[in-house]
């Protein structure tokens, strides 16, 4: 599977060399794929900031820190994500950073200013962007602003407090605070927590102030209608629709086409960090998590919208509610799902049509859905068989084009027109295929050349391993002989 993902990446680079874009070029929010994580649950590298941590208690700090995230950032980069969202980093009474005590201090469990700056620099050097969360509605009762401005706050039922973002003084204080934070730490964006409860006037003025220098994202965390100030909000109904559609096979996909018609420019996600995990839905329905996750990832990464993938989704992390759904990330798991994600992100990052192209729904019936993503330069057919039997569909020449062919990149299927000029798709149960529409031709020289190159590289690798093994045995034999002589 790992070799296949490498080959697919090379094929993408050969077939669509101009489609990918770097952070320094014209990348917009619609070109991004976001990996959403909590610092405390990613990787613990330094023990000196482990203040009374308890990794066995899911409600306590577990020890994850900036240094650990920097050292293991390759896990995110290699999966093809372009934005790292790390939650709130301010001094907090809670491991998820939401119960902020002081906006002027970094959470000591996460590390120092120097370590945070090193993480930002590493993210940027890997051609990714970094965003943080800004909580304003779940602050600690001992928040540093309460001593001088108690009238800014209201009390929540759980004992936390919320800032009144309708108050102009509060708006100005938050803007000035975050402008200073951004001056100290060159992050690339912010996600406003409980965004549907914030004053629209605050959101717009906050966004305008932070965007004065350009190149900065302001995102919402809630399913809500688009509003001024936000670069993207979470698509309404996205989690329920996708989770209900893919928890088991033979589920109707009737709600998915309407969702896709509305999702362009919006954040699309399944496993938000505010509650249960999709895996818990699968287990409850007695489904098989790896297969279900593959189906859903294929949908998420080929449909219109801005994908947000929560940490642990790549390991099928379970959990019915907080804090059990915020487990420590286990990177030492079977990599099959990780490789599958990498294949899909490789295609999306390489193809402007898959990121922002037009959508045309071609078929949806009994868990069998086929749609087209295209722009003026390229076109794709995505076929999803979320059923327990093999499905077929015949597409007319008007949809595909005259004398064209469909090249499947995952199941290696090639579909050419029949005598009537029609294209017949066949897909086995619980599979997704992504077809690239190309001019009809014989041997795909770029593909074959890539396969040949990878074969030579792999054979060279085996030869090196064999030589080293042979040399090691010879060295061991010589040591044994010397020992006997002594």
- Look at residue 164 and tell me whether its pLDDT is greater than 60: yes
Q: What is the mean pLDDT of the chain?
A: 91
Q: What are residue 168's phi and psi, to 5 degrees?
A: -65, -35
Which token pair is 96?
């998820």
pLDDT, mean of residues 108-133: 98
Nearest to 358 by CA among 339, 377, 348, 372: 372
Confidence of residue 183 (pLDDT cuts 50, 70, 90): very high
Q: What is the DSSP annotation of 116-168? A: HHHHHHHHHHTT-EEEEEE--SSB-TT-TTTTT-GGGEEE-TTS-EEE-TTSH
Spatial separation of the C-alpha atoms in residues 343 and 433, rounded to whole Å = 12
What is the pLDDT, as a whole number, of residue 328?
Answer: 97
Q: In percent, how much of the chain has pLDDT > 90? A: 82
pLDDT, mean of residues 143-168: 98
Burial (CB < 10 A; 0-12, 13-18, 19+), residue 363, is middle
The tens digit of pLDDT for each residue in 87-102 reads 999 999 999 999 999 9
The conformation of residue 235, written as its DSSP 8-state character, comes to: P
Q: What are residue 428's phi and psi, to 5 degrees?
A: -70, 170
Confidence of residue 5 (pLDDT cuts 50, 70, 90): low
pLDDT, mean of residues 50-57: 95
Nearest to 427 by CA among 406, 397, 458: 406
Nearest to 55 by CA among 68, 70, 40, 66: 40
Specify the 3-state DSSP secondary structure of 437: strand
- Look at residue 133 and tell me whether its pLDDT is greater than 50: yes
What is the pLDDT, as a whole number, of residue 57?
Answer: 96
Spatial separation of the C-alpha atoms in residues 409 and 343, rounded to whole Å = 9
Contacts 24+ apart (CB under 8 A), 203-212: 203/227, 203/228, 203/229, 203/230, 204/228, 204/229, 205/171, 205/175, 205/229, 206/171, 206/174, 206/175, 206/178, 209/175, 209/179, 210/175, 210/178, 210/179, 210/182
Confidence of residue 18 (pLDDT cuts 50, 70, 90): very low
């Amino acid at each position: 599977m790992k070799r296949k993902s490498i080959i697919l990446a090379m094929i993408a680079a050969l077939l669509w060399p101009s489609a990918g874009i770097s952070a320094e070029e014209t990348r917009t929010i619609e070109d991004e794929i976001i990996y959403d994580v909590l610092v405390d649950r990613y990787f613990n590298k330094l023990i000196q900031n482990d203040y009374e941590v308890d990794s066995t208690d899911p409600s306590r700090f577990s020890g994850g820190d900036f240094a650990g995230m920097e050292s293991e950032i390759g896990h995110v980069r290699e999966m093809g994500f372009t934005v790292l969202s790390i939650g709130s980093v301010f001094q907090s009474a809670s491991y998820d950073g939401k119960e902020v005590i002081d906006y002027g201090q970094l959470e000591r469990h996460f590390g120092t200013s120097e370590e945070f700056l090193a993480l930002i620099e590493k993210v940027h050097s890997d051609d990714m962007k970094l965003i943080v969360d800004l909580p304003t509605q779940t602050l600690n009762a001992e928040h540093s602003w309460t001593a001088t401005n108690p009238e800014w706050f209201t009390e929540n039922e759980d004992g936390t407090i919320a800032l009144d973002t309708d108050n102009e003084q509060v708006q100005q204080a938050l803007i000035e605070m975050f402008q200073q934070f951004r001056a100290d730490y060159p992050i690339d964006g912010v996600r406003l927590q409980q965004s549907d409860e914030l004053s629209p006037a605050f959101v717009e003025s906050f966004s305008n102030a932070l965007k004065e220098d350009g190149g900065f994202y302001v995102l919402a965390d809630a399913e809500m209608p688009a509003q001024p100030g936000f670069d993207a909000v979470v698509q309404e109904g996205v989690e329920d629709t996708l989770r209900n559609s893919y928890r088991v096979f033979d589920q109707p996909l009737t709600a998915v086409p309407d969702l896709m018609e509305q999702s362009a420019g919006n954040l699309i996600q399944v496993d938000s960090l505010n509650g249960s995990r999709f895996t818990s839905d699968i287990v409850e329905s007695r489904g098989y998590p790896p297969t279900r996750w593959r189906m859903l990832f294929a949908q998420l990464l080929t449909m219109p919208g801005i994908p947000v993938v929560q940490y642990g989704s790549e390991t099928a992390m379970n959990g019915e509610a907080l804090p059990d759904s915020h487990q420590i990330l286990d990177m030492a798991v079977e990599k099959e799902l990780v490789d599958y994600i990498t294949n899909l992100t490789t295609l999306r990052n390489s193809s402007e049509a898959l990121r922002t192209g037009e959508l045309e729904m071609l078929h949806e019936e009994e868990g069998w859905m086929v749609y087209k993503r295209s722009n003026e330069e390229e076109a794709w057919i995505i076929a999803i068989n979320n059923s327990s039997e093999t499905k077929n569909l015949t597409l007319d020449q008007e949809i595909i084009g005259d004398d064209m062919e469909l090249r499947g990149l995952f199941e290696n299927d090639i579909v050419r027109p029949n005598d009537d000029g029609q294209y017949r798709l066949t897909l086995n149960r619980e599979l997704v295929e992504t077809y690239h529409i190309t001019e009809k031709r014989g041997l795909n020289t770029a593909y074959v050349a890539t396969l040949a190159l990878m074969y030579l590289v792999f054979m060279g690798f085996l030869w090196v391993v064999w030589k080293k093994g042979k040399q090691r045995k010879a060295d061991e034999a010589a040591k044994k002989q010397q020992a006997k002589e002594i």
